[in-house]
């Protein structure tokens, strides 16, 4: 399996596995990583951590009130979920430092609290404590100079129209999700879907779009558009083979020529979700699609990338 398919598969598995947390929510940003005193940390009463053997390909991550079960996820994925938030776009956060096994070794985790805890507590502070105590993890967040793509406004201007912020409501991550708020009956903001052939989302910010695009390219994406507000996004392009092949914004480097001519990648309507009837070319690259469908541009550059997670120390967990 190529790295792009693995990354997207992990994103889909996480999204499905954490339906009780935030299947329709954007990742939760946090400030500087500060470790609480040992006696003040929320922790699981019992926790089993074992190498994943014989169940490869069956990835899942599922917090519930008072319990966390993980099937075959890497420590890198768990770090991103614990310290950034539960959602596919959080998996795009860069991690530097640490040995190679952090991104390759997969683990089975079954952890239970002494009493019922909120899902947000289980998937956030309690998971952080588990990683810090069992993997001896020491981690911090900083801005680093890294190669990245700058997301900017293309010639011709931004093409999406903002939606009314009052048309959706922020999700409550402590409660099981539904498609609409039970009180107002309004949809939740920031619902995002990622597939090998595109990104779609309701009430997304451009910042959330930039984070989602990281799954398709070989480096971080930094939002430099200066655009505020929320938008309904439908971005479609030819299915990608690997993020490494998307290391430049040369539109001639088109990928994935399998769909028949005139058929939108992934099936369905061929207008990129715009509703204007225009057909998306079957061989359109992600760089061309972003420019033609959204009025944005990915520019290759080097500069400060915020919210990079830096591993200062980590160890494999002792068997139990």
Dump pLDDT digits (tens) for 182-208: 777 777 777 778 888 899 888 889 998
Q: What is the DSSP string of 211-267?
A: HHHGGGSSS-EEE-S---S-EEEEEE-PPPS-GGGGSS--TT------SPTT--TTS
Which helix (H) or strand (E) element contains residue 73? strand 67-74
Q: Could you tell me if 187 and 202 are in contact, meaning their C-beta atoms sit under 8 angstroms apart?
A: yes
What's the pLDDT at 196?
85
- Mean pLDDT calculated for residue range 244-266: 35
Contact 314, 136 (CB under 8 A): yes
Supply φ then ψ for residue 33, to 5 degrees. Answer: -80, 115
Rg of the chain in Å (alpha carbons): 20
Question: pTM for the complete prediction?
Answer: 0.65
The residues facing 74 across adjacent strands are: 106
DSSP state at residue 208: H
Q: How far apart are CA 275 and CA 79, in angstroms?
A: 39
User: What's the pLDDT at 271?
Assistant: 44
Alpha-carbon gap, residue 142 to 236, rounded angstroms: 33
Cα 304 from Cα 289, distance rounded (Å): 26
User: Pick the residue with more confidence: 134 or 264?
Assistant: 134
Selection from 159, 284, 148, 162 nearest residue 222 by Cα:
148
Q: What is the pLDDT of residues 61-114, one digit of tens each?
A: 888 888 999 999 999 999 999 998 886 657 778 899 999 999 999 999 999 999
Separation CA 78–CA 131 (nearest Å):
8
Residue 46 has what pLDDT?
95
* The pLDDT value given to residue 264: 30
| Residue 32: DSSP 8-state | S
3-state secondary structure of 109: strand
pLDDT higher at 56 or 238? 238
Q: What is the DSSP string of 248-314?
A: S--TT------SPTT--TTSS-TTTTSSS-PPPPTT--HHHHIIIIISEEEEEEEEEEEEEEEEEE-
CB atoms within 10 A of CB 175: 13
- In our burial notation (b when 16+ CB lie closer than 10 A, e otherwise), range 277-289 reads eeebbbbbbbbbb
Which residue's structure tokens are 């910042």? 207
């Amino acid at each position: 399996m190529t790295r792009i398919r693995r990354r997207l598969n992990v994103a889909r598995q996480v999204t499905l596995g954490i339906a009780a947390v935030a299947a329709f929510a954007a990742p939760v940003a946090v400030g500087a990583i500060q470790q609480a005193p040992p006696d003040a940390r929320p922790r699981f009463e019992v926790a089993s951590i074992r190498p994943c053997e014989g169940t490869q390909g069956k990835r899942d991550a599922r917090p519930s009130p008072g319990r966390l079960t993980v099937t075959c996820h890497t420590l890198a994925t768990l770090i991103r979920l614990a310290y950034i938030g539960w959602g596919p776009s959080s998996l795009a956060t860069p991690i530097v430092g640490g040995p190679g096994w952090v991104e390759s070794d997969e683990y089975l985790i079954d952890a239970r609290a002494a009493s019922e805890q909120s899902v947000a507590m289980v998937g956030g502070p309690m998971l952080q404590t588990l990683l810090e105590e069992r993997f001896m993890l020491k981690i911090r967040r900083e801005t680093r100079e890294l190669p990245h793509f700058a997301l900017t406004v293309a010639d011709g201007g931004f093409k999406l129209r903002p939606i009314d912020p009052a048309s959706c409501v922020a999700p409550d991550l402590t409660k099981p999700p539904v498609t609409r708020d039970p009180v107002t009956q309004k949809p939740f903001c920031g619902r995002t879907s990622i597939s090998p052939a595109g990104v779609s989302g309701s009430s997304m910010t451009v910042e959330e779009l930039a984070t989602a695009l990281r799954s398709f390219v070989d480096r971080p994406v930094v939002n430099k558009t200066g655009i505020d507000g929320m938008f309904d996004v439908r971005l479609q392009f030819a299915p990608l083979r690997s993020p490494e092949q998307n290391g430049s914004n040369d539109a001639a480097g088109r990928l994935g020529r399998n769909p028949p001519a005139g058929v939108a990648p992934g099936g369905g309507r061929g207008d990129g979700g715009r509703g204007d009837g225009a057909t998306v070319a079957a061989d359109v690259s992600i760089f061309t699609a972003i420019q033609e469908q959204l009025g944005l541009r990915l520019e290759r550059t080097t500069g400060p990338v915020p919210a990079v997670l830096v591993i200062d120390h980590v160890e494999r967990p002792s068997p139990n």
